[in-house]
Amino acid sequence: MSTSYDVINPATEQIVKNVPHLDLEQTDAIIAKAAKAFETWKNVTPGERARLLRAFSQVVTDHREELAQLEITNAGHTRGNALWEADNVANTLMYYSAAPERLFGKQIPVPGGIDITFKEPLGVVGIIVPWNFPMPIAGWGFAPALAAGNTVVLKPAEYTPLTAIRLGELALLAGIPEGVLNILPGKGSVVGNRFVTHPLVRKVGFTGSTEVGKQIMAGCADQVKRVTLELGGKSANIIFADADIEKAAAGAPGAVFDNAGQDCCARSRILVQKSAFDKFMEHFEVAVKKFRCEDPNLATAEMGPLISKKQFDVVESYLDEKIAFQGSAPSGPGYWMPPTVLLPKNAQAKSWREEIFGPVVSILTFEDEAEGIKMANDSEYGLSGSIWTRDVGKALRVSRAIESGALSVNSNSSVRFWTPFGGFKQSGLGRGLGPDAVDSYTELKNVFISND
Ligand code: NAD
């Protein structure tokens, strides 16, 4: 039975909108519609598909203010982030609009004829999105999937469905045919799980927690369904004594507290070489205390509230370890948590090992390069991270040794649509983004044509 629920503004605790939870019957009807649309969409010429993706990109740009305002209100994102996120969807669409006309196969030399490979679309692709970056993560899924000739059913997270719903409407406005991009607000256990079990959904692209990702992978096994998993992280920010310590310390708050720490790439473990610890902490404390946690509508805001009371309670449960210092945050209403710096006892501490998904960072020291690498790799996750050093050889050695899908040297950059992104170990399976992402939304077909 279809029900509905209230979406809450996490900065004010006020109701923003009432949104439907689609039931199983409605979900199945939309999947059937997407399967029907696929029969037409897969035959749209590459040039026309490219043109439509560019038109969609332009419409998103034309609505960037509206989309950003929706995300500020729905997710508590800062104005700066929300505008970047809307632009990121437009830019990702533009980037993948080049793909339909470049889906090259190979001609393979064989005796007796000619052998050709084709990259065929899969059919209906199910994209499941978390609440932390609702717009870009939706775009990173649907843009390459549509470019490859698939149709998409997309389930936003329960907390943050509004921008995804609007993006679905904007796709129609841009001329993308009905049924090609479908947004299905609803529960993970109903709509999301149906993507896993429905035989017409040929792939699930999931971004979310490692716990749910494991269930999805197990569920997909039943039909040998294609699956990509973008999961949790506990990324290391490794600062060597020879680094520009002031620069590393100035950037470290943004690397973990951006989006109130609700970021799979948050550098929530800081490892500082022992000889540089005091200098780092002196500059880091100044930077943390300057970090602006305030009304996300303000142009100066660097961090807003947590998404929900539930998330607030989870994050608060980690604050029983030694607190080195905290920044400031507004008092309620809203789910406000100040940027917090912990000094755990050792690498077995809960805050050091678990993904907190809030504005909390833990700091430990290491003696030398070997110990720094060992400590950084001592995690079930391997998603992102930073290495700060002026020694090029060390930067290269450490980058190669760290078990992580994305690393930045002397920078906190993480996800960029031009480059592949995904996790080692329990941070995920497969890669999204970059020039090859479209391939993960295709099947490779081999055809031999005889000379005879
Ligand atoms: P979550 O796993 O609780 O939910 C993610 C999505 O899955 C939601 O849309 C949810 O409704 C749906 N879902 C829940 N149960 C389901 C089920 N049984 N079947 C199908 N779908 C189901 O995650 P969250 O709390 O929304 O997001 C936070 C997590 O996402 C963090 O662990 C974070 O690290 C991770 N994340 C990873 C990346 C990445 O690219 N690696 C990016 C952003 C967030």
**Residues 117-166: tens digit of each pLDDT:** 999 999 999 999 999 999 999 999 999 999 999 999 999 999 999 999 99
CA distances from 139 to 147, 203, 371 (A): 12, 16, 39
pLDDT value at residue 389: 98
Q: How far is CA 86 from the centre of its chain?
A: 14
State the DSSP string of 77-128.
Answer: --HHHHHHHHHHHHHHHHHHTTSGGG----EE--TTEEEEEEEEE-SEEEEE
Same domain as 179, residue 30? yes
239 forms bridges with which residues in the sheet?
A: 272, 388
Residue 99 lies in a domain: yes
pLDDT digits 0-9 by tens, 408-420: 999 999 999 999 9
| Phi, psi dihedral angles at 117 (to 5 degrees) | -105, 145
Q: What is the CATH number of the domain that holds 298?
A: 3.40.309.10
pLDDT value at residue 278: 98
State the CB neighbour count (10 A cutoff) for residue 108.
11
pLDDT value at residue 332: 84
For ligand 1, the distance from its centroid to the CA atom of residue 423, given in whole angstroms, is 15
Q: Which 3 state secondary structure label does DSSP give 237?
A: strand
pLDDT value at residue 202: 98
For ligand 1, the distance from its centroid to the CA atom of residue 276, given in whole angstroms, is 37
For ligand 1, the distance from its centroid to the CA atom of residue 345, given in whole angstroms, is 30
Residue 421 lies in a domain: no
Same domain as 256, residue 180? no
Same domain as 256, residue 219? no
Same domain as 319, residue 393? yes
| Cβ proximity of 130 and 139 under 8 Å | no
Pocket test for ligand 1, best of 24, 81, 127, 128 (most atoms within 8 A of CB): 128
Which atom of ligand 1 is nearest to 186's Cα?
A: 11
CA–CA gap between residue 254 and residue 246 (Å, rounded)? 14
- Measuring from each residue's beta carbon to the nearest atom of ligand 1, which residues come in under 6 Å? 128-133, 137, 155, 157-158, 188-189, 192-193, 207-209, 212, 215-216, 230-233, 264, 355, 357, 383, 423, 428
Which atom of ligand 1 is nearest to 264's Cα?
A: 34
pLDDT value at residue 277: 98
Q: What is the CATH number of the domain that holds 94?
A: 3.40.605.10
Which residue has the CA at smallest separation from atom 39 of ligand 1? 230
Provide the annotated active-site residues.
Answer: 230
% of residues, the chain, pLDDT over 70: 100
CA–CA gap between residue 113 and residue 282 (Å, rounded)? 71
Which atom of ligand 1 is nearest to 156's Cα?
A: 9
For ligand 1, the distance from its centroid to the CA atom of residue 132, given in whole angstroms, is 9
Residue 284 lies in a domain: yes
Q: Would the pTM count as exceeding 0.85?
A: yes
Which atom of ligand 1 is nearest to 427's Cα?
A: 41
Same domain as 293, residue 190? no
Beta strand 269-273 with 323-326: parallel, antiparallel or unpaired? unpaired
Spatial CA neighbour of 328 closest among 338, 341, 340: 338
Q: Which 3 state secondary structure label does DSSP give 12?
A: coil
For ligand 1, the distance from its centroid to the CA atom of residue 227, given in whole angstroms, is 14
271 forms bridges with which residues in the sheet?
A: 238, 364
Burial of 368 (0-12, 13-18, 19+ CB in 10 A): exposed
CA–CA gap between residue 398 and residue 383 (Å, rounded)? 15
State the CB neighbour count (10 A cutoff) for residue 65.
11
Q: Quick one: average pLDDT of 372-398? A: 98
Spatial CA neighbour of 250 closest among 273, 290, 283, 293: 283
Same domain as 249, residue 326? yes
Task: Give me the amino acid identity at 260.
Answer: A
Domain range for 250 is: 236-416
Residue 408 lies in a domain: yes
Confidence bin at 113 (pLDDT 50/70/90): very high
Same domain as 395, residue 254? yes
Residue 171 lies in a domain: yes
Spatial CA neighbour of 436 closest among 92, 101, 144, 52: 144
Q: Quick one: average pLDDT of 220-226? A: 98
DSSP designation for 305:
-
Pocket test for ligand 1, best of 212, 234, 355 (most atoms within 8 A of CB): 212
pLDDT value at residue 23: 97
Token pair in block for residue 209: 């927690």
Same domain as 105, residue 86? yes
Same domain as 186, residue 247? no
Same domain as 254, residue 358? yes
Is residue 242 predicted with pLDDT exceeding 70? yes
pLDDT value at residue 1: 66
The residue count for the chain:
452
Residue 29 lies in a domain: yes
Same domain as 348, residue 244? yes
Q: Which residues contact 371 (CB under 8 A, 6 or more apart)?
A: none
CB burial of 151-161 (b: ≥16 within 10 Å; e: otherwise) equals: bbbbbbbbbbb
Same domain as 46, residue 143? yes
| Phi, psi dihedral angles at 101 (to 5 degrees) | -85, 5
Residue 265 lies in a domain: yes
- Map 334-401 to HEC letters: CCCCCCEEECCCCCCCHHHHCCCCCCEEEEEEECCHHHHHHHHHCCCCCCCEEEECCCHHHHHHHHHH
* Domain count for the chain: 2
Q: Which 3 state secondary structure label does DSSP give 403?
A: coil
Residue 422 lies in a domain: no
Q: For helices 79-96 and 46-62, what crossing angle results, to 10°?
A: 170
Confidence bin at 170 (pLDDT 50/70/90): very high
